[in-house]
Amino acid sequence: MRLESKVAVITGGSSGIGRESCLLFAQEGAKIVVADVNDDGGQETVDLVTQAGGQAVYVRADVSKAADCERMVTTAEQEFEQLDILFNNAGIMHGDDGDAVSTSEEIWERTLDINLRGVFLGCKYGIPALRRAGGGAIINTASFVAVMGAATPQIAYTASKGGVLAMTRELAVIHARENIRVNALCPGPLHTELLMNYLDTDEKKQRRLVHIPMGRFGQAREMAQAALFLASDESSFMTGSEFLVDGGITSAYVTPE
């Protein structure tokens, strides 16, 4: 198994990429701390993991709050003795996030609190635990919009994910000699509740689909498989990367320098 004897904290574990990653990581031998604010969904993920023969616990964690991020890391060490993998995956995409003129300061601040501050706080408390374990892997969920603009305006989301990508690069450089690898998973448009709620009309969905060379939305399970690669020793010489899993969208529209 690719993650045998590893312990992983996965934020946003109640649904989407987070839940699929919890299930897949556990299948590959990892013990899982499911972190989320959705208690019912988080516990359901734990139940799914345990029913499949894995080990998991749920911890309620609002990643925008330092105490919650500290608690989810402490839970990993208390329940499973160590932390080897930190998957900073939790994020929001607000329906009122538009262009710079129309987006309110409240939406801007809330989006950056969860999507960017949450990654910072996860790393702030997770990195000392990874050091205690002798190293490990951090995966930060960014987005293809960190590399290119979105066809449907979502300025706060795009800015937050650009920040995640930049922060990932710096953390990777800082901690490379400590056996701590830090990579950014950059999904393309996915058929998840998060995006489908945002693209709430057929017109908005088609506006995204038309740009994807593969002609379909990605699936959360496909992102979990990419995250598994970044978490495992198979990516042992990768750090500071932007791992694009996007159906070809950035290849079609981003011109190499």
Residue corresponding to tokens 């290119």: 148
Residue linked to tokens 């495992």: 232
Q: Which of 1, 58, 54 is nearest to 23 (CA)?
A: 54
Q: Say which residue the tokens 């981003």 belong to.
A: 254
Question: Which alpha helices (DSSP H) does 199-248 contain, by range?
Answer: 202-209, 220-231
Strand positions, DSSP E, the chain? 7-11, 31-36, 56-60, 85-88, 136-141, 180-187, 242-245
For residue 11, the cross-strand partners are 35
What SS3 class is residue 245?
A: strand
- Look up 157 and say whether it is catalytic: yes
Neighbours of 22 (CB within 10 A): 31
Alpha carbon distance 140, 73 (integer Å)? 16
Q: At what angle do helices 105-112 and 155-175 cross, to 10 degrees?
A: 30
Name the active-site residue from 125, 157, 198, 253.
Answer: 157
Q: Let me know if 171 is exposed, middle or buried by CB neighbors in 10 A (0-12, 13-18, 19+).
A: buried
Helix (H) or strand (E) holding 155: helix 155-175
Q: Which two tokens stand for residue 201?
A: 């009309």
Catalytic residue list: 157
